[in-house]
Amino acid sequence: MEKTLLILKPSAIQRELVGTVLQRFERKGLRIAGLKMMQLTDALLDEHYAHLKDRPFFQRIKNSMMITPVIVCCLEGKEAVQVVRKMAGTTNACNAEQGTIRGDFALSMQENIVHTSDSVENAAVELARFFAPEEIFEYTQNAKPFLYANDEV
């Protein structure tokens, strides 16, 4: 099964959307394999957003991500990266489809509720950045036979 990173950003924390957002992923059938609240640091954000370091909004993003702690999650399921990204909606929440997390709860490019990994490769890197190996758990999801056909997993 594929694993991916989900970060509930300060906008989700401040707007008290944590339970609502996590519930959507659980109802879809994704398994929570890791979950913790943490305060992001400048150094961690420099690493996480290194691909944006030359953009004029880089410091603004970092400042926004440090306003409150965030909740980081490891979600697992079939094609989890693609499923989570589709459920999140496009980055610019003004253009996100109704029914997606961003489409239903945000109007901003930056304050858009969640961060999601954009590829299987980046998910592995990002999960290692935010979780120690012992913080990601394997356990039996009792609903699994009702989520997947035998030959799908």
d(CA 91, CA 121): 19
Q: What is the pLDDT of residues 3-39, one digit of tens each?
A: 999 999 999 999 999 999 999 999 999 999 999 999 9
Q: Taking the domain 2-134, which CATH number applies?
A: 3.30.70.141
Q: Is 115 assigned a catalytic role?
A: yes
What is the average per-residue pLDDT within 134-151?
92
Whole-prediction pTM: 0.94
Catalytic residue, candidates 100, 115, 123, 126: 115
Domain boundaries, the chain: 2-134
Instruction: Give residues with Cβ within 8 angstroms of 97, minimum separation 6.
Output: 89, 90, 103
